[in-house]
Amino acid sequence: MDFPHHLISTVTSCLLLPISPDYPGFGNSDMPDRSKFAYTFDKLAEIVEGLLKVISFTQFGLYVQDYGGPIGFRIINHHPDWLKWLIIQNSNAYEVGFTKAWDGFRSSLWKNRTSETEGPLAAFLELDAIKQVYLYGHKNPELISPDNWNMDFRFMERPGARQVQMDLFYDYRNNVALYPQWQKFLRERHPDTIIFWGQNDIFFAPEGGEAYLRDLPNAEMHRLDSGHFAVEDCLEEISNNIVRFYEGRVAKVLIRE
């Protein structure tokens, strides 16, 4: 889930076959009317799970980043045997992982969704904030293409797009309620896992990355001097280590199976 397009090109050449669908309301996917489609993480996971069944893509390594975590973890909890290995990049599953950027969500919106509690958070959906998310905490911001935030904002200008995102902002509280379930899954299933964590993420603190090691003590951890979208300026380090991890730790197990 949320597999970056430039990472796709680097790992595909090494015989890995990534798929990365845009969720409804994101990218070039359709954006159904909110009156007929519930923009929740449950619903997005249901759609992606259905796609995986249709294309018979039910044995895979899962790459999760940001929203990809809540969606991906729902799917593998429903189908634990689908998961063969796991890549985590700045996708939170522990309350300790929230930075202060979440204060307005946690203390206001999640407790009482009104126009007043939505108002301050609408700024996250404007161009300056979207650009800041891409650049904040990145050691080499000059490597990050402006196409990222310009394209994201262009999609945000579609009629109804901001309200779709606000629906998901509000529904994110339900992800937190599932954190113990996901942690239990990791602790009991202990999938082969490699973690990349941008230490300067505007949304998810380093403690969120470290917390995974409590449930996945054998996971391989890479602490990156980067931000939320670490693949933007750490592409080579991430892609090389994904391939090395797959070839050295995962492929041998899959061959024995």
Instruction: Copy the structure tokens of residue 2.
Output: 């949320």
Let me know the angle formed at the C-alpha of 32 by 158 and 167, rounded to the nearest 5 degrees: 75
Domain assignment of residue 148, yes or no: no
Domain assignment of residue 150, yes or no: no
pLDDT score of 17: 78
Range in 37-41, 179-183, 253-257 the model is least confident about: 253-257
pLDDT score of 242: 95
Per-residue CA distances from 197 to 48, 88, 136, 203, 206 (Å): 25, 8, 14, 12, 7
228 is catalytic: yes
Q: What is the mean pLDDT of residues 210-227?
A: 98
Question: 203-213, pLDDT tens digit by residue?
Answer: 999 999 999 99
Domain assignment of residue 132, yes or no: no
| pTM for the whole structure | 0.93
Cα separation, 39 vs 118, in Å, equals: 16
User: For residue 42, what is the domain's CATH number?
Assistant: 3.40.50.1820
Domain assignment of residue 118, yes or no: no
Question: 90-133, pLDDT tens digit by residue?
Answer: 999 999 999 999 999 999 999 999 999 999 999 999 999 999 99
Cα separation, 199 vs 238, in Å, equals: 14
Domain assignment of residue 130, yes or no: no
Q: What is the CA radius of gyration of the chain?
A: 18
Domain assignment of residue 113, yes or no: no
Q: What is the mean pLDDT of residues 188-214?
A: 98
Task: Flag whether pLDDT at 10 surpasses 60.
Answer: no
Q: What whole-number percentage of the chain has pLDDT above 90?
A: 88
Q: Decide: helix, strand or coil at residue 220.
A: strand
| Structural domains of the chain, count | 1
Q: State whether the Cα torsion 56-28-105-68 is positive or negative.
A: positive
Structural contact between residues 160 and 34, judged by C-beta atoms closer than 8 angstroms: yes
Range in 17-21, 179-183, 184-188 the model is least confident about: 17-21
Domain assignment of residue 111, yes or no: no
Beta partners for residue 221, in sequence order: 195
Of the pLDDT bands very low, low, confident and very high (cuts 50, 70, 90), residue 75 is very high
Q: Which residue has the higher pLDDT, 178 or 6?
A: 178
Q: What whole-number percentage of the chain has pLDDT above 70?
A: 93
Domain assignment of residue 76, yes or no: yes
The pLDDT mean for the chain works out to 93
pLDDT score of 22: 93
Q: Which domain holds residue 233?
A: 5-100+177-256
